[in-house]
Amino acid sequence: MPQQPDILTKHICYHCGDECIDEILYDDKSFCCAGCKAVYELLFQSNLCSYYTLENHPGINLKESGSGIKFNYLDEAEIQKQIIEFSNDEITKVTFYIPSIHCSSCIYLLEHLYKIDHAVVNSKTDFTQKKVFITYKTGETSLRKIAELLYSIGYEPAINIDDLAENDKPKVLKKLYYKIGIAGFCFGNIMLFSFPEYLSLGNLDMYYKHLFGYLNILLSVPVFFYCASDYFKSAFIGLKQKYINLDVPISLGIAVIFFRSVFEVISGFGAGYFDSLTGLIFFLLIGKLIQTKTFDFLNFERNYKSYFPISVTILKDKNETTTPINKLQKGDRIVIRNGELIPADSILFKGNAKIDYSFVTGESTPIEKVFGEIVYAGGRQEGDVLELEVVRDVSQSYLTQLWNNDAFKKTDVIKTKLNDVIAKYFTYITIAVALTAGAFWLNKDVKIAVNVFTAVLVIACPCALALAGPFALSNSMRIFGKNKFYLKNTGVIEKLSQIDSIVFDKTGTITQVKNAELNYYGSLLSNYELSEIKSLVKNSTHPLSQKIYGSIKCDGEFAIANYKEFPGKGIKGIVGENEYKIGMLEFVMAGDSKEDAENKASKVYVSKNGKLKGYFLILNYFRKGLSELVNELKEDKELSLLSGDNDNERQNLQEIFGTQADMKFYQKPEDKLSYIQTLQDKNKKVLMIGDGLNDAGALKQSDAGIAVTESVTCFSPSCDAILSSEKFRELNKYLIFSKTTMNVIKASFAFSMLYNFVGLYYAVQGALSPIVAAILMPVSSISVVLFAIFLTDFFAKRQKLI
């Protein structure tokens, strides 16, 4: 229900709900920045203030979004052609993917765009897919203007090459809905026509008996040939690869029921088991629908293209034009501005390059490049405008080489192993029982022998078995989702339950510079001194310098003389009349080093005119709860750590991870991948936990790859699961619960076997009446499903996950 926003609460931004540090008052409301105020003004003018009544502080803070983003490239006809879905002289239709959609207010605002810009005819939101479908008048506005409008109200559309490719998932789902609809329809009607048989209305006219029988055949034909076709296909593919999956006994059962029933009706021998057949397929399809439950708003499959911009500025005859990135050619002169990504390996022509490769290597310190040097794709420029000449195509660059690795060619076959092991024995045993029972009766009566043989196959059809897995797994997946641990598919749970060795990435996964706490210890610094320090660290791009810069609140506008940066040590420079040195102790106090090496990485010392003033201590540099988590995991799993960064923190990390853990530094993406491979060669089940593009190969190669991310809808590399960073501490709990889930499935299997034994008892005696089958089959299916859901919920509650 809509709540009244707390207008009177002071210092909370009316728009985005952030704390107001430099409060702006407007219309009796507080705003944290000019951006939020501007959005409010716009909405106020357009009479859209219900936006604020639907949810509290629904706005998106504009402070952190990149200001330099331009949508100029949307004016290019080439790019428009790829994005626009439909266009004529009157209207144009386009779909944007907007990651920041998060609440019902967002839906409200995005569906009322026509009030802000009258050229918009209609806009519709799909909340789960975070998409907005916009129709606008062709002549009156442009694609670029629409994108800019969305950006100006805080809903920046994410446009990348990958999004331009249509995904066909809805079609698969639609097909499943059709199948369920048809199966349900036929199932219901067949039940009605089978009632006379259930009630054994003996005096029923033979005439009607035949009529009902033939109607049943007619109704079950589409179910058998259309609705159940996937099971036959899957069983056939499995058998072709000499591999028995659970679909083999299911198909066998279904086929036997169908043909035996048809035979019974035509020969007038009985009424067949059409109700059981269609009911079974109906339940199986529902299980399938449940299993396809996905987290639509997340994207688990991302490759390097998703990270690259859609277009790049090129210089042609001294004119700047934009061109789509896939049209970029060797020899093109490109312009890269501050914060932009280098799309292809190039040679530096002009400008001071300071390139942050954290995207590719994990090393966060920017690397300086000079004229004539090669800069690799995936680097992000910090500072001046650069002019580069492309030397290799986008698809052949150093970064994209990684994607040519075999790990990325592997197609993901979802094989639920436990199911298949059981299916194998199950199939053999069923066939053996059917043959023995058939042989036993063969001496007495051929008719009964055939009857018994088929009845065993019918009753053994493992539909309850096939349902237990999907329902237990998808229920667990739902529970994980509630705990902000999102799985790509249900198969991941089984993989997680088998993990015996875990590989961590360092930067961004177990460390978090951005949210670290910073404290100063030592002799008190005056505001003037703080400003001087701020002016100095401003020049350094080292993450710790940036952290100090961000934490000092006063201005830092002093000029610096003799600035020098010593990589891995610190910085020095003269501010006004004072010489400052900032960095490691042995650097700051040359020669006078008696530092305990322990906290090297998280202490930054400051000296003024050769005198030590004190140090900045960066707390919580590691993720909260890391050491507790590691201690829990250490007990039964092998841990290792891979880092693209230098080994400055080896000692720190060794203390947390223990001496047993393997640690490797200076790791390139392909090194990480091959490290996982060597572990797997030793028959280890490896879980990789990473965060960046540089872990993408390792995440893909590992048995299960988890991407840790601050914001789940942000870019994360292709992986099996996405873990919200705030739940990082809970990882061990999740691994334990995945094991519990597998045990629940085993218990459900045992439970459904009980039904099978009861059924077999009747079947081998040749006494399986349609009514027994008709009751046993749905009852077993439904009770097994309820059993699986109840148990997963029960254990989730006990393990405090719900």
Q: In the complex with other proteins, which residue's Cβ is closer, 189 or 741?
A: 189
Closer to other proteins at the Cβ: 47 or 65?
47
Cβ closer to other proteins: 191 or 574? 191
Handedness of CA 679, 680, 683, 686 (dihedral sign): positive
Comparison of 104 and 326: residue with beta carbon closer to other proteins: 104
347 with 409: CB under 8 angstroms? no
Nearer to other proteins, 181 or 268 (CB): 181
How far apart are CB 125 and other proteins at their closest, in Å?
6
| Residues 669, 696: Cα–Cα separation, whole Å | 8
Rounded-to-integer distance, Cα 336 and Cα 341, Å:
7
CB of 107 to other proteins, least distance (A): 5
Q: 390 and 332 in contact (C-beta within 8 Å)? A: yes
Position 385, amino acid: V
What strand order describes the sheet that includes 603-608? 517-522, 611-619, 603-608, 578-583, 570-575, 560-566
Summarize as ranges the residues that interact with other proteins (CB under 8 A). Answer: 47, 50, 54, 104, 107-108, 111, 114-115, 121-122, 124-129, 170, 173-174, 177-178, 181-182, 185, 188-189, 192, 205, 208, 211, 215
Q: 684: Cβ–Cβ under 8 A, 6 or more apart, which residues?
A: 500, 501, 638
The angle subtended at Cα 316 by Cα 314 and Cα 320, nearest 5°, is 55
Nearer to other proteins, 124 or 410 (CB): 124
To other proteins, the closest distance from the beta carbon of 137 in angstroms equals: 9
* Residues whose CB is less than 8 angstroms from the CB of residue 462 and which lie 6 or more positions away in sequence, other chains included: 246, 249, 250, 253, 423, 426, 752, 756
Q: Cβ contacts of residue 179 below 8 Å, gap of 6+?
A: 226, 227, 285
Cβ partners under 8 Å of residue 328, min gap 6: 312, 314, 334, 343, 344, 390, 393, 394
Q: How far is the CB of 121 from other proteins (least distance, A)?
A: 5
| Tally of CB atoms within 10 A around 400 | 20
What distance in Å separates the CA atoms of residue 775 and residue 664, rounded to the nearest whole number?
61
702: nearest Cα among 716, 720, 715: 720
In this complex, which beta carbon is closest to other proteins, that of residue 2 or of residue 568?
Answer: 2
- Return the number of the residue (208 or 761) whose C-beta is nearest other proteins: 208
Q: Least CB distance from residue 179 to other proteins, whole Å?
A: 10
Distance of closest approach, residue 112 Cβ to other proteins, in angstroms:
8
| 424-460: burial string, b at 16+ Cβ within 10 Å, e else | bebbeebbebbeebbeebeeeeeebbbbbbbbbbbbb
Q: Give whichever of 122 and 395 is closer to other proteins, judged by the CB atom.
A: 122
Between 60 and 472, whose beta carbon lies closer to other proteins? 60
Cβ neighbours of 720 (radius 10 Å): 24
Phi, psi of 344 (to 5 degrees): -150, 155
Q: How far is the CB of 488 from other proteins (least distance, A)?
A: 20
The CB-of-260 to other proteins minimum distance in angstroms stands at 25
Smallest gap from residue 131 Cβ to other proteins (A): 9
Work out how close the CB of 621 gets to other proteins at its nearest, in angstroms, rounded to a whole number. 39
CB atoms within 10 A of CB 319: 7
Measured from the CB atom, the residue of 123 and 313 that comes closer to other proteins is 123
Query: Cβ of residue 195: shortest distance to other proteins, in angstroms?
Result: 12
